Amino acid sequence: MTLAAHDIRHNLGRFALTAVGIGLLLMIVLGMSGIYRGMIDDALVVVDGIGADLWVVQRDTRGPFAEISRVPMNLEERVRAVPGVAGARSFVSHSIQREHRGEPQRITVQGLAWPDDKGEWLPLAAGRPLAQAHFEIIADESLGLTVGEVVPLGKDRYTVVGTTKGMVSSGGDGLAFFTVRDAQAVQFDLPGEAIRLERAARRARSGDSELGRLSPLLLDRAAQSAAGIPAIGPAMISAVLVKVAPGHDIARVAASIANWPDVSLHTAAGQRDLLLRGMIDKARRQLGLFRALLVVISTIIMALIIYTLTLDKVHDIALLKLMGARNGMIAGLILQQALLLGAIGYVIAYALGGWVFPRFPRRVLIAPADLWALAGVVVAISCVASLLGIWKAMRVEPNKVLS
């Protein structure tokens, strides 16, 4: 009978509690790998799904996801005129926080270029894509919105016409897809009093200038809506998405646009790299550090348990040596015990994680490679943890059986 079977029979409670504890630690290690993989998938979900070859953003910025980017809407027409460009679309991205059913709700607003982009590329769980230029939303299920629900934002009310699943930002906030015009209306919405004060301030500035004193009609124009004043441009957008025509070199088209002094340009691969190296790099390193600490803690706990179980069997080990058992066989029995403990912990981690992870606030994405990597970690820590017990067993003298 092996030492592992002996312990299961005579120390069932201690062995079971240790296996559960190791399983919980391994579940957290697996969960941290899944959280990081989920963060990567969340960060890239729009970049990969929207299908743009190039991203044109504000000069010296890193794009609409990494930081604030503001470019004029007429940039879209300038980009369309570049040889090799098959299409260009406006894009808006920003975050808002509102209350929904009495709870705070953060929403990452994404503005799609209607009618070129109606959101057909989105993985809809229910409903349909955008069908009109205003007052419709496609929202992720994580926001708690349902198809047909009306959401008041700013001075307008928007109807949820579709829902997606798993479409969240790198920060874990659910994505809501509007048309560009609606996204701008939400972003630049101001209270009525703020609008009135701004118009009064414009009129006062015009009245203080020489041109305003010579042309009193300009004062009335200055007090009108900003959209009716030619000198004030339309609301800014976050980026222009470029699709390169088939047969044209992306690098050549990119070089043509990159020479413009008012914009920066990133390829789709470059935008992915910026997201991975910038927005989630610190989270990756932090999760990696916690994983390493948990592996070390698991190893220490297993080593102490194996050592304690070995101390309980000093008399049995001495008897085996007195009967002629080789040290290699005894070491193999202790290693078998550690591997059995690690294997049970692995099964517990896998089973419990499958039930717990879907309930996490952040998406936990477990890949087969993570399971194989965890299995390798379990084998490694089991072998390392058994060394302390083996060391103690090798020091047991056969004459201990007589004491």
Q: Domain residue spans in the chain?
A: 3-42+281-402
* pLDDT, tens only, 63-91: 788 788 888 888 888 999 899 998 889 99
Q: How much is the average pLDDT of 38-63?
A: 84
- Which residue type is seen at 300? I
C-alpha span between 200 and 205 (Å, rounded): 9
In whole angstroms, what is the distance from residue 96 CA to residue 33 CA?
29
How large is the average pLDDT for residues 326-337? 74
Instruction: Output the six-digit token pair for 1.
Output: 């009978």
* Model confidence at 269: pLDDT above 80: yes
* 232 pLDDT more than 70: no
Per-residue pLDDT for 167 more than 80?
Answer: yes
Three-state SS sequence of 131-149: CCCCCEEEEEHHHCCCCCC
Distance CA 41, CA 72 (A): 30
Confidence of residue 191 (pLDDT cuts 50, 70, 90): confident
Instruction: Indicate the residue type of 292.
Output: A
Residue 202 pLDDT level (bands cut at 50, 70, 90): low
Q: How far apart are CA 64 and CA 57, in angstroms?
A: 7
Q: pLDDT value at position 347?
A: 92
Quote the DSSP letter at residue 234.
Answer: P
- Scanning the structure block, which residue is given the tokens 């990081």? 36
How much is the pLDDT for 101? 80
In angstroms, rounded to a whole number, what is the distance separating the alpha carbons of residues 379 and 301? 15
pLDDT at 6: 62
- CA geometry: angle at 353 spanning 352 and 354, to 5°? 90
pLDDT surpassing 90 at residue 283: no
